[in-house]
Amino acid sequence: VFDKNGDGFIDKEEFTFCWNHWIKVIVRPVSAFLIVDVQNDFISGTLNISKCNAQQDGSEVVEPINRLLESVPFDALFYSLDWHPPDHVSFIDNVHMRELHPSSPVPADKAQAYDTVVFAGPPPMKQRLWPRHCVQDTWGAELHKDLKIMDGAVKIYKGTNPEVDSYSVFWDNKKLTDTSLGNQLRHRGASDIYICGLAYDVCVGATIADALAIGYRSILIEDASRGVDLADIEKTKATIVNNNGVIVNSDEVLAMV
């Protein structure tokens, strides 16, 4: 059944047959699709990732994501949104609002966007500073206008605490509070989580690391993700592979349908 040609390999068509008629029946995966932070500010606004080191165009994720949404019968759909109050700790123009720790590599009056500083706390807190972005209820925080929003999908808002940043869609960076994502996945009995979006090496990377640590079969959809920094993207990929995550392109997910 598995190797029609008898050459020791199975081709794509054979795999799709096996997946649908054998693997799915036995394993009964419950899938969730999580689309991370496909918001205007990261694509063409204040934190335009195309102006960062990797020079990637965030708008290019919209087409593969829409294709997946139209064709793949995921059991649950989530859109996350970076959703900051105006006084958020990650904004470069707010750096003077809070005291820095003496160990901070950069003092407040020298700090620039994309630098990392240490806030006094207590306890001391490392923080990368970003241009003001994704402020609640502004255009920059809206999802890209061409991104398909499916009925029944759930929106998850993160980064709402002014004092702590939140890269992972599961928890803030200090793990003080969780979003409802974990509970909603548990409630649905999810086993497999497909993740993509912006930024590959920041929020997408932190989210898939948490998903793998919790124990989900976690799949990163690479052609539906774009990032900030090439070296950090490589580190993210290594972390995924080293923790038994899977990196695929959207056509491989579409082929399973």
List residues binding Zn ion (CB under 5 A): 82
Q: How many residues does the chain have?
A: 257
Which of Zn ion, ligand VGL, none has residue 209 at its interface (CB below 5 to 8 Å by kind)? none
Select which of 41, 134, 158, 229 is catalytic.
Answer: 158
* Cα–Cα dist 42/245, whole Å: 25
Tell me if residue 158 is catalytic.
yes
| Minimum distance of Zn ion from residue 76's CB (angstroms) | 24
3-state secondary structure of 26: helix
Is 203 marked active-site?
Answer: yes
Contacts with ligand VGL, residue ranges (CB under 6 A): 37, 82, 130, 198-199, 202-203
Distance CA 199, CA 214 (A): 21
Shortest Å, Cβ 22 to ligand VGL:
38
| Catalytic position from the list 165, 203, 210, 229 | 203
Residue 157 near which of ligand VGL, Zn ion, none (CB within 5-8 Å, type-dependent) = none
Q: Which of 96, 243, 90 is nearest to 167 (CA)?
A: 90
Helices marked H in the chain: 12-18, 24-27, 40-43, 62-71, 181-188, 205-214, 230-242, 250-254
Q: How far is the CB of 5 from Zn ion (least distance, A)?
A: 50
CB of 165 to Zn ion, least distance (A): 6
Q: Which is nearer to Zn ion, 82 or 229 (CB)?
A: 82
- Under DSSP, is residue 137 helix (H, G, I), strand (E, B) or coil? coil
155: Cα separation from own chain's centroid: 13
33 binds, among Zn ion, ligand VGL, none (CB under 5 to 8 A by kind): none
